């Protein structure tokens, strides 16, 4: 059963000499509990693809289906974590994590339980009353991940979430992300230009090429030796 199914996806942008094709005939299939990475060189359309799946940008053609429903704009069935921190600076860590739950008018006790659970997952229990401005980059991304997971989205969409971090923090975040996936099996669609990162994290990789036609390729993930 597909969680995200993309078929015949086409995107063009207006250019000086007519429309420019950003991608054509892209097909991806994300099954429930998959951790799928999209890799490819800079400019091949990875971000555009993810923004379209997020409903933040309109496709020029093709279909994007989330659990049998064609998407029409953004929705809370998709959690998002982007490269730049999108936390609300005037809310504490805990308030940020509870934000979506509050919107849904979830009873305060249940919000508390979910916040506790994800604060523990991201190992920031001691920082629950701090503000984003007081946190390091890695910590802010951990809060962004917790906030997205707290809403129990059908799929977590991540666009180069660790690219802006220093190498040590990045490695820590990759380890944490893999731990989260092994323990909770969220369905993840993750965009990165870092092939090592993709191999480390995912069970399925799609390569988006920048050649004319932008044809996708699905490639098997070769397990690194240190994988269990
Ligand atoms: P990636 O994330 O793989 O680096 P992008 O999705 O950012 O690639 O971009 C894919 C292609 O579409 C690039 O050639 C880029 O220049 C073009 N593009 C992206 N956004 C726009 C836009 N708003 N207007 C025109 N061209 C765009
Ligand atoms: P991360 O913990 O996300 O890898 P750093 O490597 O920058 O980020 O931080 C290492 C540790 O330093 C953190 O786990 C935390 O204990 C502490 N720390 C970082 N920023 C702050 C802060 N603003 N206030 C208190 N402690 C901090």
Average pLDDT over residues 5-12: 90
Using the mean position of ligand 1's atoms as its centre, give its distance from the Cα of residue 22 in Å.
Answer: 7
Largest CA distance in the chain: 58
pLDDT band (50, 70, 90) for residue 40: confident
Interface ipTM: 0.63
157, 46 contact by CB (below 8 A): no
Q: Alpha helix (H) ranges present in the chain?
A: 46-54, 93-103, 108-121, 137-150, 167-184, 195-201
Rounded to the nearest 5°, which phi and psi values hold at 70? -65, 135
User: Can you tell me which atom of ligand 1 is nearest the CA of 208?
Assistant: 3
Count of residues making up the chain: 228
pLDDT tens digits for range 138-194 = 999 999 999 999 999 999 999 999 999 999 999 999 999 999 999 999 999 999 999
Average pLDDT over residues 52-77: 93
% the chain with pLDDT above 90 = 72
Residue nearest to atom 5 of ligand 2 (CA): 136
Higher pLDDT, 15 or 183: 183
User: Kind of pairing, strands 69-70 and 61-66?
Assistant: antiparallel
Residue 192 CB less than 6 A away from ligand 1: no
Residue 134 CB less than 6 A away from ligand 2: yes
As a whole number of angstroms, the distance between CA 133 and CA 130 comes to 8
- Show Cβ contacts of residue 117 under 8 Å, excluding neighbours closer than 6 positions: none
pLDDT tens digits for range 184-225 = 999 999 999 999 999 999 999 988 877 655 555 566 554 444
Average pLDDT over residues 55-68: 94
Rounded to the nearest 5°, which phi and psi values hold at 21? -80, 120
% the chain with pLDDT above 70 = 92
Chain-centroid distance of CA 223 in Å reads 22
Q: Decide: residue 180, CB within 10 A, 0-12 exposed, 13-18 middle, 19+ buried.
A: buried
Question: Which tokens is 208 given?
Answer: 């988006």
Q: What pLDDT, on the 0 to 100 scale, is given for residue 125? A: 97
Residue nearest to atom 10 of ligand 1 (CA): 45
pTM listed for this prediction: 0.84
Q: What pLDDT, on the 0 to 100 scale, is given for residue 6? A: 92
């Amino acid at each position: 059963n597909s969680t995200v199914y993309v078929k015949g996806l086409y995107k063009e942008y207006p250019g000086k000499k007519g429309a420019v094709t950003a991608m054509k005939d892209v097909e991806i299939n994300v099954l429930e509990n998959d951790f799928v990475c999209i890799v490819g060189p800079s400019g091949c359309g990875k971000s555009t693809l993810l923004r379209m799946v997020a409903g933040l940008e309109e496709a020029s053609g093709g279909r994007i289906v989330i659990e049998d429903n064609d998407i029409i704009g953004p929705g809370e069935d998709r959690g998002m974590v982007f490269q730049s921190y999108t936390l609300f600076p005037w809310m504490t860590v805990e308030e940020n994590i509870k934000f979506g739950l509050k919107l849904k008018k979830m009873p305060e006790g249940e919000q508390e339980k979910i916040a506790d659970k994800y604060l523990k997952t991201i190992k920031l229990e001691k920082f629950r009353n701090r503000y984003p401005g007081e946190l390091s980059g890695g910590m802010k991304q951990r809060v962004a991940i917790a906030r997205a997971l707290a809403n129990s989205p059908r799929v977590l969409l991540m666009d180069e979430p660790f690219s802006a971090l220093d190498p040590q923090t990045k490695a820590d975040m990759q380890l944490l992300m893999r731990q989260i996936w092994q323990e909770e099996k969220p369905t993840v669609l993750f965009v990165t230009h870092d092939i090592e990162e993709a191999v480390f994290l995912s069970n399925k990789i799609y390569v988006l090429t920048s050649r004319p036609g932008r044809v996708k390729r699905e490639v098997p993930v070769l397990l690194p030796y240190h994988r269990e």
